[in-house]
Amino acid sequence: MNLKFLETFVWVARLKSFRLTADKLFTTQASISSRIAVLEGELGVKLFLRDSRGVSLTPEGLKVLDYAEQMMDTMQALKQSIETRSSKAGRVRIGVMDTVIHTWLSPLVAQMTDHYPLVEIELVADTSLNLCDQLQKGFLDVILQTDLLRQESVRSLELASHPMGWIVASNSLYNREYSGVADLANERIITYSKNSHPHQEVLALMQANGVMAPRLNCVNSVSAITRLLRDGFGIGALPPVLVAEELARGELTLLDIDQRPPDLQVVVSWRVGVEWVEEIVALCQRVVEHYAQKMGEHYMVLSKPLASL
């Protein structure tokens, strides 16, 4: 039995599409159909049903899939047992949101460079919304952003979360006592880009406290936000981890207000079937765990349990 044909069967079963499988395996739909036909001939059963809704497994196909996946896992384990990490070559395309860039991206890249010296790392910085779109379209392999994605060809894993806070320049007029969120909303609030997850959470918190039209200034760059805060432009709604050094030096102050936006999630999402992408995801987990231990729970909280979707 041809293992390549068996692999083709597994991918058609997972992606539920001959076209997507052809794209995944860099071949044509005709070639995929031919491989499946040969496999069905060898096994003497029909593996798939095709209709207007797409492709689905027959009862016999479901039985074959279980054994086929076991065989593919065995082959993958065999390859990994004789292949050193340093011999891996190729390219991995990683999308990152600004929050990750300013926290644990450098340790991650350092670990990847050490583990996979022959692998080309292509980094794309963008908003979570755009990164999710690029991953779903196949332009990226792994993304680090804020939202759990629920798709057949995509997996997501919650890594950790950053507590949010209200941050001001220590020497600014905004560094005063506030009675609550409604009082705070009278001032200029600086937060993440419009329609981002953090922006929506800040807006919802304000509206829940009776402020229907808060003065939200949306900025899609963490560097720009921190610069505006240092210059006394307003009150920042962002994770204190992003300005830990400025807080330690006393340049910025974390306001003592109990009502805060929900913690900002950090999620890794990846495309199913990309070669050794799961190893990159596992590396992300280890780097995040180390970074969280270093910074402490007031800056970063690990997600428990770490379970993929």
Looking at the structure, tell me whether residues 95 and 64 fall in a common domain: no
Q: Domain count for the chain, please give it.
A: 3
Q: Note if the bond before 305 is cis, omega within 30 degrees.
A: yes
What is the Cα 219 distance to its own chain's centre? Answer: 21
Structure tokens at 9: 């069967």
pLDDT for 187 = 92
Looking only at the bridges linking them, the beta strands covering 264-271 and 252-254 are: unpaired
What is the CATH number for 39?
1.10.10.10
Q: Tens digit of pLDDT for each residue in 17-69? A: 898 888 888 788 899 999 999 988 888 899 999 887 778 899 998 988 888 88
Mean pLDDT of 262-283: 89
pLDDT for 85 = 52
Q: Mean pLDDT highest for which of 5-14, 119-128, 162-171, 273-282?
A: 162-171
Domain boundary among 53, 82, 111: 82
Looking at the structure, tell me whether residues 91 and 169 fall in a common domain: no
Looking at the structure, tell me whether residues 271 and 142 fall in a common domain: yes
Q: Residue 259 falls within a domain, yes or no?
A: no
Q: Which of 184, 198, 195 is nearest to 239 (CA)?
A: 198
Q: Tens digit of pLDDT for each residue in 118-140? A: 888 999 999 999 999 999 888 99
Residue 50 burial by Cβ neighbours in a 10 Å radius (0-12, 13-18, 19+): exposed
**Residue 300: strand pairing partners:** none
Size of the chain in residues: 309
Q: Which of 23, 24, 50 is nearest to 37 (CA)?
A: 50
Mean pLDDT of 239-264: 95
Q: Tens digit of pLDDT for each residue in 279-305? A: 899 999 999 999 999 999 999 999 875
Give the angle subtended at the CA of 93 by the CAs of 88 and 95, to the nearest 5°: 140
Q: Which of 210, 222, 218 is nearest to 186 (CA)?
A: 210
Residue 193 burial by Cβ neighbours in a 10 Å radius (0-12, 13-18, 19+): middle
In terms of pLDDT, which residue wins out, 212 or 53?
Answer: 212
Q: Residue 307 falls within a domain, yes or no?
A: no
Rounded to two decimals, the pTM is: 0.69
Mean pLDDT of 69-74: 82
Domain boundary among 82, 111, 126: 82
Mean pLDDT of 235-261: 95
Q: What are phi and psi of 73, to 5 degrees?
A: -65, -40
Confidence of residue 82 (pLDDT cuts 50, 70, 90): low
What is the CATH number for 272?
3.40.190.10
User: Structural domain of residue 72, as residue ranges?
Assistant: 3-82
Using the predicted structure, report yes or no on whether residue 251 has a pLDDT greater than 80: yes
Confidence of residue 84 (pLDDT cuts 50, 70, 90): low
pLDDT for 201 = 93
pLDDT for 119 = 86
pLDDT for 79 = 65
Mean pLDDT of 173-185: 93
pLDDT for 1 = 66
Percent of the chain scoring above 90 in pLDDT: 55
pLDDT, the chain, mean = 88
Confidence of residue 307 (pLDDT cuts 50, 70, 90): very low
